[in-house]
Structure 1
Amino acid sequence: MVIARYPPPWFSVAPMMEWTDNHYRTMARLISKHAWLYTEMIAAETIVYQKGNLDRFLAFSPEQHPIVLQIGGNNLENIAKATQLANPYGYDEINFNCGCPSPKVAGHGCFGVRLMLDPKFVAEAMSVIAANTDVPVSVKCRIGVEDHDSYNELCDFIYKVSSQSPTKHFIIHSRKALLNGISPAENRTIPPLKYEYYYALVRDFPHLRFTINGGINTVDEVNAAIKEGAHGVMVGRSAYHNPWNLLGHVDSAIYGEPPSNLTRRQVLEKYQVYGDSVLGKYGQRPNVREVIRPLLGLFHAEPGNSRWKRKADAAFMHCTTIKSFFEETLFTIPDCVLDSPVAEAPSGCTDMFTKSKNLLPQQYRVREEELLYADF
């Protein structure tokens, strides 16, 4: 149903806590019409306990389609209720978080990436989600957790979840997670990337769909991954910190659309209308700083960028509208930057996936004990 309405998810922006909020997604959609957007992870308990205030957490504009809701949790009853409460908002897919290594989530909360150690529960959760929605469901996970990082263990997880639930789409962050002693930021850099695990999954589970995630920063790298057989590519922080030079090329370089000739000034004019319409919608929130935050990477590496950010810091102290904020700060950015369409896409490393495909682990074979748990 989703594929018929929208282009395939060849490119998606990763769910990022406190980053991929409604403000960021509004800006992202102004730049790219086809990128698939994900919400921040929203705990099932938050949705259930905020039943009378759901718009604040779940509402989005129709322009944000295609959009995926990511939920997290470890209580099947709350997961079911959260799915039911989210249905009226019309998300295009519901994704379950099995990849977040934050101590708040994987530690005390006992969900996120820690759930990879309990594939039976994940399968139950996915069955519950699927039973309470009409849209596709998916899982976002890592390639392993702590010492449970062999390719066979990853395959066991994929096999159990996919055979015991309707899950047919997995987003694979190609690093394992370390839960003891390192931060979420370090979990994005210290464990080595193993793209060979991802491509081996594509080989060994031809009936499933896999999206690759982790360490991919440019459109060149996205296309290189797809050329080597990736079903889709998810990009995180590069899409946030440098949205113009990444998202600005998605529609043309990945989806084959003609160049749009869109300019930053046009994006800002439309974003101003949105921003001023939402300020103070929930009492004191959102404020000018929160609405402007996704724009802070819009002039990445451009003349005037540093001065603009300094002016922004001062303007946050007293500006009460997005219009007044722009009037006080945008003069620092040259007209040639504001009025130029997207330039040539930054180049990236394009051979890393070819090299990884030369390192594929041995083909996965389902063990007899795993077959006993399969639900065909």
Structure 2
Amino acid sequence: MVNSAGHALFASLTSVVLKNFIYWHIKHSRKLYWYSHKCLCYKESIMVATRYPPPWFSVAPMMDCTDNHYRTLARLISKHAWLYTEMIAAETIVFQKGDLDRFLAFGPEQHPIVLQIGGNDLDNLAKATQLANPYGYDEINFNCGCPSPRVAGKGCFGARLMLDPKFVAEAMSVIAANTNVPVSVKCRIGVDNRDSYNELCDFIYKVSSQSPTKHFIIHSRKALLNGISPKENRSIPPLKYEYYYALVRDFPHLRFTINGGINTIAEVNAAQTEGAYGVMVGRAAYSNSWNLLGHVDSAIYGAPPSGITRRQVLEKYQVYGDSVLGIYGPKPHIREVIKPVFGLFYSQPGFGLWKRKADAAFQYCKTIKSFFEETLVAFPDSVLDSPIVEAPQGFPDVFANSKSLLPPSYIVREEELLYAFREEGQSEYSH
């Protein structure tokens, strides 16, 4: 008979052997798993990279903002910024498949463009991806960051999905299996009291190790799902850029884009100087589009200044606007098409008068051309005909300071290795 000491020694040796076996199996089977995906993803990445510059700068997906109208105007200002759609629910795509142009169509000039979808049903995510493929998006992004109660409520999706990384990995695998373009995840740094750096790393580790996801867009605030508004969720939770830069440090094989609280080109450049792969800007790119997007091509991508003026942009936008007015019956209304134009004149002389003229013109103008003829007289020629000036300064030291706050390096815990081993084994047997 084996005595108790023998039992203890046997258990200890078994534990060591098991750990080593798990580590070896994960390391080598994952190599095979990633090799099969790497060939496809590499071809896709090369295909996109040769067509367009990298996503060093992108405009965040924003509900009721980054629609076709805004993206058309944005592309007239910047040729290189990556544009995102509004989040479109997978169910919307599936159940509106007879009217898909209304939700998915875009002009060819909008490339490079990313479709962001949301959802919590794998079948619908697969179908939605398949239905979106003919439109030719350059990437598909999965929303794991929206804190809106309509989206992130119990049983829904958005930021709440960060609490279920297993499902997110499955969703990303399903999306990737149904498209031939790269896929990415947009998420927060945490949700409610699940906001430690290790918990964020666990989410990144599980999703990236169990799906083809290699690119994460990180909104550097956590989401509060306690009933505060989406607007409050963009200001009340504190920014923690140190979490973003710690991810860059701890997952060097992945790509991370930083998002949240970045408002100027100087801050974009500062974030990249500190090691950010890409920078995503939201509200500032919408409300102050001329002063922000106007500098992207030259300051971020090194292109020569375009010399374009607001008047030239509006002349081209007018042609687009008049071509889409009423294309879906009463929609879009002239007010919807003009909405993005406000960002061209942020804080400019004549802006207040122009808004008053616009409010009146909405009542009787039937075309974008007549609207501009009625309202643009509010601006002096110096505003309409001056090219973009030097980029305004920001607060570039904010990211340098974050480097002194980095949390300790992430170490994959034993339970995470077991999780990856178990999921990998299930995946192998399911095939």
| TM-score for both structures, normalised by structure 1 | 0.99
Corresponding residue for residue 128 of structure 2: 82
* TM-superposed deviation, 1:137: 0.1
Question: In 2, distance between residues paired with 1:338 and 1:67?
Answer: 28
Question: In 2, distance between residues paired with 1:297 and 1:8?
Answer: 25
Question: In 1, distance between residues paired with 2:154 and 2:87?
Answer: 16
For residues 276-333 of structure 1, the C-alpha deviation after alignment (integer angstroms, 9 at most, x for no partner) is: 0000000110010000000012111111011001110111111110001001100001
Question: In 2, distance between residues paired with 1:61 and 1:321?
Answer: 20
Which of 265, 276, 286 aligns to 1:219? It is 265
Find the residue that maps to 1:197 and give its secondary structure. Answer: helix
Which of 219, 237, 243 aligns to 1:197? It is 243
* TM-superposed deviation, 1:368: 1.0
Quick one: structure 1 residues 108 and 117, their matched pair in 2 at CA, closer, same or farther if it must change by over 3 Å? closer
Question: In 2, distance between residues paired with 1:178 and 1:292?
Answer: 33
Q: How does 1:350-369 map to 2 (within 5 A)?
A: 350-369=396-415
Question: In 2, distance between residues paired with 1:55 and 1:108?
Answer: 31
Corresponding residue for residue 106 of structure 1: 152
Question: In 1, distance between residues paired with 2:120 and 2:331?
Answer: 29
Corresponding residue for residue 217 of structure 2: 171
User: Counterpart of 1:55 in structure 2: which amino acid?
Assistant: D
Say whether 1:296 aligns with 2:375: no
Which of 51, 62, 87 aligns to 2:97? It is 51
User: Counterpart of 1:249 in structure 2: which amino acid?
Assistant: H
* TM-superposed deviation, 1:140: 0.1
Corresponding residue for residue 194 of structure 2: 148
Find the residue that maps to 1:127 and give its secondary structure. Answer: helix
* TM-superposed deviation, 1:110: 1.3
Corresponding residue for residue 417 of structure 2: 371
Which of 302, 313, 327 aligns to 1:267? It is 313
Q: Which moved more, 1:179-188 or 1:203-212?
A: 179-188
Say whether 1:13 aligns with 2:59: yes
Contact kept? 2:52, 2:112, Cα under 8 Å: yes
What runs of 5+ residues in structure 2 fail to find an aligned partner?
1-46, 426-431
Corresponding residue for residue 334 of structure 1: 380
What runs of 5+ residues in structure 1 fail to find an aligned partner?
none
Which of 101, 109, 112 aligns to 1:66? It is 112
Corresponding residue for residue 390 of structure 2: 344
Find the residue that maps to 2:141 and give its secondary structure. Answer: strand
For residues 248-299 of structure 1, the C-alpha deviation after alignment (integer angstroms, 9 at most, x for no partner) is: 0000000000111000000000000000000000011001000000001211
User: Counterpart of 1:147 in structure 2: which amino acid?
Assistant: N
* TM-superposed deviation, 1:109: 5.6
For residues 82-126 of structure 1, the C-alpha deviation after alignment (integer angstroms, 9 at most, x for no partner) is: 000000000000000000000000015610000000000000000
Question: In 2, distance between residues paired with 1:369 and 1:273?
Answer: 59
Question: In 2, distance between residues paired with 1:289 and 1:234?
Answer: 27
* TM-superposed deviation, 1:373: 2.4
Which of 290, 299, 303 aligns to 1:253? It is 299
| TM-score for both structures, normalised by structure 2 | 0.87
Which of 338, 348, 351 aligns to 1:305? It is 351
Question: In 2, distance between residues paired with 1:321 and 1:163?
Answer: 52
User: Counterpart of 1:197 in structure 2: which amino acid?
Assistant: Y
Question: In 1, distance between residues paired with 2:74 and 2:154?
Answer: 33
User: Counterpart of 1:160 in structure 2: which amino acid?
Assistant: K
Corresponding residue for residue 93 of structure 1: 139
Question: In 2, distance between residues paired with 1:145 and 1:75?
Answer: 21
Question: In 2, distance between residues paired with 1:309 and 1:296?
Answer: 8
Corresponding residue for residue 84 of structure 2: 38
Q: How many residues align structurally?
A: 376
Question: In 1, distance between residues paired with 2:257 and 2:80?
Answer: 16
Question: In 2, distance between residues paired with 1:181 and 1:51?
Answer: 33
Question: In 2, distance between residues paired with 1:46 and 1:347?
Answer: 41
Find the residue that maps to 1:126 and give its secondary structure. Answer: helix
Question: In 2, distance between residues paired with 1:226 and 1:330?
Answer: 38
Contact kept? 2:129, 2:179, Cα under 8 Å: yes
Say whether 1:115 aligns with 2:161: yes
User: Counterpart of 1:262 in structure 2: which amino acid?
Assistant: I
Say whether 1:158 aligns with 2:204: yes
User: Counterpart of 1:257 in structure 2: which amino acid?
Assistant: A
Say whether 1:24 aligns with 2:95: no
Find the residue that maps to 1:34 and give its secondary structure. Answer: coil
Question: In 2, distance between residues paired with 1:228 and 1:165?
Answer: 28
Question: In 1, distance between residues paired with 2:229 and 2:303?
Answer: 40
* TM-superposed deviation, 1:343: 1.3
Contact kept? 2:149, 2:227, Cα under 8 Å: no
Structure showing greater Rg? 2
What value does the CA root-mean-square deviation take over the aligned residues? 0.8
For residues 129-178 of structure 1, the C-alpha deviation after alignment (integer angstroms, 9 at most, x for no partner) is: 00000000000000000000000000000000000000000000000000
Contact kept? 2:57, 2:82, Cα under 8 Å: yes
- The structure whose residues are more often helix, as a share, is 2
Find the residue that maps to 2:236 and give its secondary structure. Answer: coil
Quick one: structure 1 residues 46 and 317, their matched pair in 2 at CA, closer, same or farther if it must change by over 3 Å? same
* TM-superposed deviation, 1:181: 2.9
User: Counterpart of 1:65 in structure 2: which amino acid?
Assistant: H
